Amino acid sequence: MFTLLPRDLEFFSCFEGAADNAVRAAELLAEVAQADAARWPGLAGAIKEMERNGDRFTHQALDRLDQTYITPIDRDDIHALITEIDDVVDAIDATAQRLLIYRIQEVTSGFREQCDTLTHATQQMRTAIRGLRDLKKRKQKRKSDPDNCIESAIIAVHKLENESDETHHRVLGDLFECGFDPFQVIKWKELYELVEMADDYCEDVANTLQGIVLKNA
pLDDT at 141: 52
Q: Has residue 21 been placed in a domain?
A: yes
Q: Is 2 among the domain residues?
A: no
CA distance 138 to 108: 44
Q: Is residue 166 part of a domain?
A: yes
Owning domain of residue 128: 8-215
pLDDT confidence tier of residue 5, bands split at 50, 70 and 90: very low
The per-residue pLDDT for 2 is 42
Q: Which pLDDT band, with edges at 50, 70 and 90, does 179 fall under?
A: confident
pLDDT, position 79: 96
Please indicate, yes or no, if residue 1 is contained in any of the structural domains. no
Report percent pLDDT > 70 for the chain.
Answer: 90
What would the pLDDT profile of 126-159 be if each residue is shown by its tens digit?
999 999 988 756 655 545 454 458 999 999 999 9
Q: Which of 17-26, 68-77, 103-112 has the lowest mean pLDDT?
A: 68-77
Let me know if residue 3 belongs to a domain. Answer: no
Minimum mean pLDDT range among 32-36, 100-104, 172-176:
172-176
3-state secondary structure of 122: helix
Q: Is residue 118 within 8 Å of residue 164, measured between CB atoms?
A: yes
Secondary structure string (H, E, C) spanning 156-207 = HHHHHHHHHHHHHHHHHHHHCCCCCCHHHHHHHHHHHHHHHHHHHHHHHHHH
48-93 pLDDT, tens digit per residue, is 999 999 999 999 999 999 988 888 899 999 999 999 999 999 999 9
Per-residue confidence (pLDDT) for residue 8, from 0 to 100: 55
Q: What pLDDT is recorded for position 181?
A: 86
The more confidently predicted of residues 177 and 202 is: 202
Each residue of 193-213: pLDDT tens digit?
A: 999 999 999 999 999 999 999
Model pTM? 0.91
The three-point CA angle 21-22-27 to 5° equals: 100
The rounded distance, in Å, linking the Cα atoms of 67 and 2 is: 5
**How many domains is the chain built from?**
1
At 135 the pLDDT is 76
**Rounded to the nearest 5°, which phi and psi values hold at 77?**
-70, -40
Q: How many C-beta atoms lie closer than 10 Å to residue 113's C-beta?
A: 18
Distance, CA of 106 to chain centre = 25
The reported pLDDT for the residue numbered 139 is 55
Asked if residues 167 and 114 have their Cβ atoms less than 8 Å apart, the reply is: yes
- Phi/psi of residue 105, each to 5°? -100, -25
The answer to whether residue 185 is domain-embedded is: yes
State the Cα–Cα distance between residues 136 and 172, nearest whole angstrom.
44
CATH number of the domain within which 136 lies: 1.20.58.220
Answer whether residue 189 is part of any domain. Answer: yes
